[in-house]
Amino acid sequence: MTRSPLPSSKEFRMHLDDIVAAKRSAWSGARAPVSAAGERATPARAGTFAAALNGTEVGIIAEVKPKSPSKGDLLPLAEAVPLARTYAGAGAAAVSVLADTPYFGGSPDLVAQVANDAEVTVPVLFKDFLVDVRQVQLAHDCGADAVLVIVRSVDDALLADLLAAADGLGLDALVETFTEEEVERAVRAGARIIGVNNRDLRTFEVDLDNSQRLRQLIPPGVLTVSESGLHTPADLARIGAHGFHAALIGESLLTSDDPAEKLRSLRGVRIAQAVR
């Protein structure tokens, strides 16, 4: 199968904001992108995703990502659902599925395929650049249990609207941050699950200390997820020591010869009780 050439990481750094602009353009009119998913197969159960992360050990949110701007092709589409099954069988707390097509090779339909597969028995996160509340409805209709909301991509009013839309549809929202200001905005908006991205999406540089720095700004009672740059049990132990409830892990699983064994090797890290 021949695939379209991917932009280089340099090009992606230059045009990251263009992705959000393109999403806004696509969703700006009455005719928004649609999915073949149709109506949701089973009713959403509020809090399913959050409950899966609220344990005594760092939960693994394992990612299904067909490609990335920095790494190129990662996963043939035909292997996406089988991989999600593998993740569930290996003990993932949840599965994240890319819904973006141009840069990450996913789609809402791919989310629906994973979410509606009988062997994927864990919650599913709809991962995209959300810029319109109709995308939350789309995520719901695909069968997802949660949506990703990137704070830097929205203003405060839209952030509040997206969280309200998710809550109204019985979906959890993982609110992604990268800076202190973004954490403060997420907290003000009432986010119940806050993610800290260790990767600067403008430079692609990874700094695990970002999780440590921002974790202390997140109040008790809010679930926390460390995202990007997590590869080893030592990395998981590091974020567990700072009280993170979960880790979003993609490329280290996708590039592993044995994703199930890799996932198992990352499980079992206790969350520091003093900061839970």
Of 153, 197, 211, 226, the catalytic one is: 197
Q: Which of 67, 68, 153, 176 is catalytic?
A: 176
∠ CA 135-7-61, rounded to 5°: 50
- Does the annotation count 228 as an active-site position? yes
Q: Is 198 a catalytic residue?
A: no
CB of 40 closer than 8 Å to CB of 143: yes
Residue 176 a catalytic site member: yes
Among 59, 72, 54, CA closest to 12: 72
127 is catalytic: yes
Phi-psi region of 229 (alpha: psi -120 to 50; beta: other; left: phi over 0): left
Q: Which of 127, 153, 182, 211 is catalytic?
A: 127
Exactly one of 198, 211, 227, 262 is catalytic; name it: 227
Catalytic residue among 65, 68, 107, 182: 65
Of 63, 182, 210, 262, which one is the catalytic site residue?
63
Which of the residues 96, 226, 228, 262 is marked catalytic? 228
Helices (H), the chain: 9-26, 48-53, 80-89, 108-115, 133-142, 156-168, 180-188, 209-215, 233-241, 251-254, 259-266
Show Cβ contacts of residue 221 under 8 Å, excluding neighbours closer than 6 positions: none
63 a catalytic residue:
yes
Active-site annotation holds for 65: yes
> Among all residues, which ones are annotated catalytic?
63, 65, 127, 176, 197, 227-228
